[in-house]
Structure 1
Amino acid sequence: MFALLSILLTLQLVVSDDYHDTLDGIVFEEYSTEQLRDFLHCILDKGPCSDVVASYKKHYPDVVLEECVRCSKCQKHMAVVLFDRMRAELPDLYREYRAKFDPDDVHFDNMYKRVMEERDSSYC
């Protein structure tokens, strides 16, 4: 039975078009500024990563390049919270973040607009 469940879970991960629960373990409203800084240091390759943040980091280049089209409504809500808090609390890291993931300044503003329009915290 365990083997069957493992196979089904693996197939679900392979055929899924979204980021499933991989990115749902982070609740940026509950992060302190220090925790947010640690998160960004991981994402920017400036510090260590927890398992949850490491899984998030693995998907992040695609999230920006694809402008979060495969993100759930909850993930879009968390993206807005993250970007707004970065801009307000850690502006230097916010600029580094944008430069790393959108060096040509092509995708980020479109992604932010999309997540603002499509987010829904009731799904979190």
Structure 2
Amino acid sequence: MKFLLVLSAVLALTIAETYKTTHDNIDVESIVTNPETLKAFTQCFLDKGECNEIAIAFKRVLPEATATACAKCTPEQKHMLRRYLEELKKTSPEDFEAIKQEYDPEGQYVDALRAAIADA
């Protein structure tokens, strides 16, 4: 009986829930290296602009992903978030700060999130 409980627990951990992978194959480089596209995604995330289907999908999970250090993110999603934040910080520091303020106003999660996606 104990063996079944342990096996069930291990199985539950290995089948951890992840966010939908529908957009895991998008070319993040084409988004982050195009200033207009990067700005459009950022404006969507800040509720200051229109959102396309891909931006809506990411915006939907961004609050939870931030608060949980991307615990449900696939490796591809971690990579996309890392590249987005890196490029935003480099090219538009004021928008980077606005994103941090929007999704982590008290600065509780940003360090853990950045550590979780650092190698992605």
TM-score, length-normalised on structure 1?
Answer: 0.77
Larger Rg: 2
RMSD of equivalent CA atoms: 1.7
TM-score, length-normalised on structure 2?
Answer: 0.79
* Structure 2 match to 1:85: 87
Structure 1 runs of 4+ with >2 Å offset: 25-28
Shift in CA distance, 23/62, structure 1 to aligned 2, threshold 3 Å: farther
* Structure 2 match to 1:24: 24
The gaps in structure 2 that reach 5 residues or longer are 1-14
* Structure 2 match to 1:49: 51
Query: What is the total number of aligned residue pairs between the two structures?
Result: 104
Q: Which has the higher helix share?
A: 1
Identity %: 25
Q: Distance in 1 between matches of 2:112 and 2:74?
A: 17
Q: Distance in 2 between matches of 1:90 and 1:66?
A: 25
- Select between 91-100 and 20-29 the one with higher mean Cα deviation: 20-29
